[in-house]
Amino acid sequence: MRPWGPRRERGAMTIIAPPARPRPRAVCADDRDFHRLARSSGRHRWWRPVLVLTVAAALFVLGTLLSVVPLVVIGLAAPGQEDVIDRALASSEMSDPMAATFMLLAIAVMLPAALLAVRLAGARPMGTLSSVAGRLRVALLGRCLGLALLLVILAMLAFVTVDGTWPDATLTARTLPLLAVAVLVVPVQAAAEEYVFRGLLMQTVGAWLRHPAFAIVLPVPLFTLGHEYDGLGLVDVTSFALVAGWLTWRTGGLEAAIGLHVANNAAIVAFGAFGLVDLDATEGTLAGLACTLAVTVGYAWLVRGWADEARRRATSRRRP
């Protein structure tokens, strides 16, 4: 017997329909601001963003511990590889492919941690961490990545030839492994940082504060302090973070920020693979800062134009 089926009152011919079940609220809509999506499921409570951050941190720690397991297995299965394992765990040299891979994958663990935390503790689909469309908009990501690669490579070429001479490219035993890192590992690492700093943290702030400026600016210090650079280098990182946050809000998703971040990091590692830049440098330069500002501002201006055009087309389609 179905408890919600129609029933007939005794002594009457009137059939009373079951009470209508409340329809769940839409998870997200294209006109909803990205930084407010944590409130979109209809199950938002003031404490839920704190719970999401706690679960994400716990999953990140667990994932980091599990990432060490393959190294332990290698050490047990292949005695004599202690030097390789020690280098991967202790070295912080990005010019060392083994150390770079381990460091970048340790950061990449943040990606599944953030997505799972949103689903398990945030009571909303994981896709809402990607965009207002409830998914990662792959076509937009591809366009943004292509544009960012073009601008970043041009800026990098200008940077390495700033003195009017072309530096000698060198091929070493590390060149191919570093290129593999640039293509296979860097995109995941860069995307993970965007999902945390422009995704999870922006939406956490936006769950409590309505104005987008708070969501864009407040996560920036955490992102900046996670980089070991001098004053100019930190200004460089901060300018990138501000532009990435603004683009995320302006476009309603992470695609533009991911494209710029992936292009920037991958190009640096690729140029470093040929000895054209120092992958272990911690000092910023005025030339480097100028290149970053030129790329980020130009990129933001072009992507903003795409976003405005897409919004105009969507508005015209909705008109009767």
Which pLDDT tens digit goes with each residue over 187-210? 999 999 999 999 999 999 999 999
Alpha carbon distance 253, 129 (integer Å) = 8
Please, which pLDDT band fits residue 89 given cuts at 50, 70 and 90?
Answer: low
H-helix or E-strand spanning residue 7 = strand 7-8
Dihedral sign for Cα atoms in the order 86, 92, 95, 100: positive
Q: Exposure string (b/e) for 277-303, b if CB count within 10 Å is 16 or more? A: bebeeeebeeebeebbbebbeebbebb
Length reported for the chain = 320
Phi/psi for 253 (5° steps) reads: 180, 180
Which pLDDT tens digit goes with each residue over 120-172? 999 899 999 999 999 999 999 999 999 999 999 999 999 888 766 788 889 99
What is the pLDDT, as a whole number, of residue 88? 66
